[in-house]
């Protein structure tokens, strides 16, 4: 009891947050560093967080808190919001029987309640339109509409999600779309792209695929529903044509997704900044992985890597008037993963800039598609999910009763900055 009171007394975090220059501050003006992890699953076909079939929700939330994270980047899809299906009984009956017969969003309500009780902030990540895994140029989910989802419908599902949690101050923001990227329509019920249907986003150049205009529209719609929300806006991602060809010719074997290099993701923001209707809410964001890079990252010196990264997104991270959030990065949970140049350099870079970040991902497993399904066009892709495959980037082990590789967690704890 005494310990609880002492912890409560020293806790200074009081959401919601606002921006102040390149910093985040709470309602008392205290600077807050965001050190987060993704916890996914709701955006996919089972509409349920990973781990719910392995451990009670309270245990999953306790472990998240004990790891030191103060926020979660929480994936969802337009489909889960609009359809809100009843969750699969077989996934919850053993460890979370209280959710038998509950809808997906009712379970999310409980997840958010448990996280909020532990003073864990929540960032809503609009990860997909159709339920499924991200990302490919052929999944028809690279933009803000497709043949199944109009722009108006996409916005409506986002606003519905924001309104649902408007009364919870621990839901602090929205990542308005995940990894906007070039995409193709497909020919019939195949994975063959129609070469005349390429949608390529631009930044501030006009037309129906101007992501700067659309990001403002979505961000302002969120703020109209809840003016306290932080609005996280990523740049866009491009697909190499050579990688697209490799994916097309190999996808039936391993569902390999194309590399998504970061060239042009953030460099145009300085020339055409985002303007929102509510001040002190804008946050720029991007993702980075070793497979995003279009150069031999493993043979680079730190100086060479830093120069390339500074060009890709580091200059935007240095803007004095808008915070920057590194929304995804990750590596294999073993010694080799921690010792790659990419991960070592990125950790050094984050420390130099005291950057806000979210690791991908908390869960120890992920959905493993049947390779034959890779030949199916959306929305049939990944109809049946096997959620038992080990997530090599995951922080937890596959039984969710501990961390997969404690040195990996220790590395992340070294960038959970208290003094910013």
Residue 154 lies in a domain: yes
Q: What percent of the chain has pLDDT over 90?
A: 69
Average pLDDT, integer, range 145-159? 95
Q: How confident is the model at residue 75 (pLDDT cuts 50, 70, 90)?
A: very high
Q: Residue 256 gets which letter from DSSP?
A: P
Residue 112 lies in a domain: yes
Average predicted confidence (pLDDT) for the chain? 87
- Rounded to a whole number of angstroms, the distance between the first and last alpha carbons of the chain is 31
Residue (of 362, 377, 268) closest to 64 by Cα position = 362
Average pLDDT, integer, range 111-116? 99
CA gap 324, 234 in Å, rounded? 10
Average pLDDT, integer, range 62-71? 98
Specify the number of domains making up the chain. Answer: 1
* Per-residue confidence (pLDDT) for residue 271, from 0 to 100: 87
**Buried-exposed string 207-223: b where 16+ CB fall within 10 A, e elsewhere:** eebbbbbbbbebbbbbb
Domain that holds residue 273: 32-413
* Per-residue confidence (pLDDT) for residue 258, from 0 to 100: 47
Residue 390 lies in a domain: yes
Residue 391 lies in a domain: yes
Give the residue ranges of DSSP H helices in 173-227: 211-225
The 3-state DSSP class for residue 361 equals coil
Sequence-ordered strand ranges (E) for 243-355: 282-287, 324-328
* Per-residue confidence (pLDDT) for residue 2, from 0 to 100: 36
* Per-residue confidence (pLDDT) for residue 210, from 0 to 100: 94
* Per-residue confidence (pLDDT) for residue 369, from 0 to 100: 56
pLDDT of 190 strictly over 70? no
Query: Can you tell me which residue has the tokens 């921006």?
Result: 19
pLDDT of 165 strictly over 90? yes
Q: Residue 38 gets which letter from DSSP?
A: E
Residue 103 lies in a domain: yes
Could you give phi then psi for residue 322, rounded to 5 degrees?
A: -140, 130
Query: Can you tell me which residue has the tokens 């926020």?
Result: 71
* Per-residue confidence (pLDDT) for residue 299, from 0 to 100: 85
Residue (of 41, 81, 44) closest to 362 by Cα position = 41
Residue 171 lies in a domain: yes
pLDDT of 277 strictly over 70? yes
Higher per-residue confidence, 290 vs 93: 93
Average pLDDT, integer, range 345-359? 98
Q: How confident is the model at residue 377 (pLDDT cuts 50, 70, 90)?
A: very low
**Residue 285 in contact with residue 324, Cβ under 8 Å?**
yes
Residue (of 340, 328, 347) closest to 300 by Cα position = 340
* Per-residue confidence (pLDDT) for residue 290, from 0 to 100: 85
Q: 10 Å Cβ neighbour count for 35?
A: 22
Q: How confident is the model at residue 147 (pLDDT cuts 50, 70, 90)?
A: confident
pLDDT of 243 strictly over 80? no
Residue 275 lies in a domain: yes
Residue 23 lies in a domain: no
CA gap 186, 147 in Å, rounded? 11
What CATH number should be reported for the domain holding residue 385? Answer: 3.20.20.80
Q: How confident is the model at residue 54 (pLDDT cuts 50, 70, 90)?
A: very high
């Amino acid at each position: 009891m005494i310990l609880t009171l002492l912890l409560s007394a020293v806790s200074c975090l009081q959401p919601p947050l606002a921006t102040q220059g390149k910093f985040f501050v709470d309602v008392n003006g205290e600077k807050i560093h965001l050190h987060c992890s993704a916890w996914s699953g709701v955006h996919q076909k089972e509409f349920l967080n990973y781990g719910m079939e392995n451990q009670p929700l309270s245990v999953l939330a306790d472990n998240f808190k004990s790891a030191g994270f103060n926020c979660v980047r929480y994936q969802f899809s337009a489909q889960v919001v609009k359809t809100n299906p009843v969750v699969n009984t077989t996934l919850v009956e053993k460890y979370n029987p209280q959710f038998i017969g509950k809808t997906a969003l009712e379970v999310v309500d409980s997840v958010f309640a448990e996280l909020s009780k532990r003073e864990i902030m929540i960032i809503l990540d609009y990860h997909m339109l159709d339920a499924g895994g991200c990302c490919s140029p052929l999944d028809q989910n690279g933009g803000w509409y497709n043949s199944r989802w109009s722009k108006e419908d996409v916005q409506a599902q986002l606003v519905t999600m924001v309104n649902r949690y408007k009364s919870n101050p621990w839901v602090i923001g929205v990542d308005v779309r995940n990894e906007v990227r070039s995409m193709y329509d497909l020919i019939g019920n195949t994975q063959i792209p129609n070469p005349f249907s390429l949608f390529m986003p631009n930044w501030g150049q006009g037309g129906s695929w101007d992501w700067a205009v659309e990001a403002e529209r979505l961000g302002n719609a969120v703020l109209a529903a809840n003016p306290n929300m932080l609005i996280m806006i990523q740049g866009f991602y491009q697909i190499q044509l050579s990688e697209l060809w490799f994916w097309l010719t190999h996808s039936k074997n391993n569902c390999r997704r194309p590399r998504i290099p970061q060239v042009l993701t953030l460099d145009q923001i300085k020339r055409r900044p985002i303007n929102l209707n509510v001040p002190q809410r804008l946050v720029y964001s991007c993702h980075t992985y070793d497979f995003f890079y279009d150069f031999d990252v493993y043979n680079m010196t730190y100086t060479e890597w830093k120069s390339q990264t500074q060009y890709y997104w580091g200059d935007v991270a240095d803007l004095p008037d808008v915070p920057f959030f590194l929304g995804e990065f990750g590596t294999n949970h073993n010694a080799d993963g921690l010792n790659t140049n990419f991960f070592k350099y990125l950790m050094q870079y984050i420390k130099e800039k005291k950057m806000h970040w979210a690791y991908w991902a908390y869960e120890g497993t992920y959905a493993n598609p049947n390779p034959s399904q890779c030949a199916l066009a959306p929305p049939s892709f990944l109809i049946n999910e096997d959620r038992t495959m080990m997530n090599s980037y995951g922080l937890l082990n596959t039984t969710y009763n501990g961390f997969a590789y404690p040195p990996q967690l220790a590395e992340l704890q070294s960038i959970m900055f208290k003094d910013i």
